[in-house]
Structure 1
């Protein structure tokens, strides 16, 4: 199963595989879910049967700081510990989902994908699920999970991004790419030379991922040298990386610090205006 698993799974197919996978709810909201709820609140109100919840801030990221960014990479041991506490053993197929087009679920997908683990994102998210939701919170049996180092070349530092020959894609909205958002970004602008590729553009009108051919055309600059993606804090950038993987592109990397790190360093240049 692992060999043909992911990077996306459709809801009807997932419904047939529930006893073969572990579901992880990765819902998270920058400023609440419109009604003040957080991701855990949304999970407790109703989730896919058997799903556990992992937190972007504490389970899938390290401590935030201006020097490291808002969502730096989690320590390898901490990441292994978070999965182990949820009973997710190494080699277990994982399906991550959210309610925002995969924009946060892709973060867990990328962290497991680069470790060679079987993982997929539920295409269409929780809204695509054909069955009933559950409010029953499972009690996982913790497992010991080996600590695996993050693979070299899959995560780039700011210095490496500045000198990389790969195409650099910015997954923020086109407006934030061009002018920033003073409520979120440390300053206006983007990494010089970066291309604007808002993550939402990877989806069609129904909220599903666009076909591989369309995504390959969208990220054509990734050939032949590969690409590095960033966003505001290294979360939605993983959506671009997921889309490029669906398109069959190679040589992909994440800049975890993203603009929250780059923009906070006044010694680094910032380009303004649209692509």
Structure 2
């Protein structure tokens, strides 16, 4: 698989890649960093969803808007990442936060980025080495090449929804999509014309990613020539669906970063429950 590497592969090539720990827990934002400090894969550096992969929350933009891209790239330079670096990211939440990091590296024009299959859990289950040592790395530099076609705005989502000329995928669990419950955001429901592909269906029940063939079967009803927009609650768990669609051979995919938390911040945006 293009965007996934296995534990054995990472263990074999550990000295030739830059490893990024993306562990995070929405209900306890400090838990990821605390876990990293206690122990992580040797050579790993830590990137925090709130502090490194998101910008300040404002009236519009959702719960996890993109950070200032220049500041984000500065953090990549400090982590020794450039256009030649092979990066492997991991978390312990099914790859959701590692996928957000992966998407962001692709967005700034980097190509050699992958996710550890099974994450930190799989690494520990295989009794691979763990350390509390925080590595020092040589600063790098690269010229960002922003991939604007990977991103879509609220206005564009609204236009496509009204015209019904793009496939809009809601990546949240079905109960949130249907508006039955909403444990995080203020309003329940989904964007008009959106269909539901729960992001965790990218994975097997044991947390391992489905193969490319399995992803192809999962999205079989979608036309590869259509424009596809993925969203979730705040632009994080839509990223596994983005990568899964890529694995299945879809290329016309955009992420609505603001997602549901941004959509409902506009009073005139329509909300559907079903």
Q: TM-score, normalization: structure 1?
A: 0.91
1:150 correspondence with 2:146 = yes
Tell me what 2:5 maps to.
9
Q: Identify which of 31, 37, 42 aligns with 1:44.
A: 37
Tell me what 2:135 maps to.
138
Q: Identify which of 90, 96, 120 aligns with 1:126.
A: 120
Tell me what 1:167 maps to.
167
Is contact 1:76-1:150 (8 Å) kept? Answer: no
Tell me what 2:62 maps to.
69
Is contact 1:6-1:121 (8 Å) kept? Answer: no
Is contact 2:82-2:110 (8 Å) kept? Answer: no
Distance 2:59 2:269 in 1: 13
Instruction: Give the secondary-structure state (helix, strand or coil) at the position aligned to 2:178.
Output: helix
Q: Deviations over 1:195-244 (max 9, x none)?
A: 11111111112211112222123223252213111111001100100111
Is contact 1:92-1:118 (8 Å) kept? Answer: yes
Farther off after superposition, 254-263 or 200-209:
200-209
1:253 correspondence with 2:229 = no
Tell me what 2:271 maps to.
270
Is contact 1:186-1:264 (8 Å) kept? Answer: no
Query: Structure 2: any 5+ residue segments left out of the alignment?
Result: none
Q: Deviations over 1:144-183 (max 9, x none)?
A: 343x253222100011112233211111111111116544
Q: TM-score, normalization: structure 2?
A: 0.91
Farther off after superposition, 57-66 or 226-235:
57-66
Instruction: Give the secondary-structure state (helix, strand or coil) at the position aligned to 1:179.
Output: coil
Tell me what 1:108 maps to.
101
- Pairwise CA RMSD of aligned residues? 1.7
Instruction: Give the secondary-structure state (helix, strand or coil) at the position aligned to 1:120.
Output: strand
Distance 2:137 2:188 in 1: 44
Tell me what 1:213 maps to.
213
Query: Structure 1: any 5+ residue segments left out of the alignment?
Result: none
Q: Deviations over 1:126-160 (max 9, x none)?
A: 111131211111123323343x2532221000111
Structure 1 residues 254 and 53: alpha-carbon distance in aligned structure 2, compared to 1, 3 A threshold: same
Instruction: Give the secondary-structure state (helix, strand or coil) at the position aligned to 1:17.
Output: helix
Is contact 2:233-2:259 (8 Å) kept? Answer: yes
For residue 102 of structure 1, report the CA deviation from its aligned partner.
0.5
> Across the two proteins, how many residue pairs are aligned to each other?
265
Is contact 1:226-1:249 (8 Å) kept? Answer: no
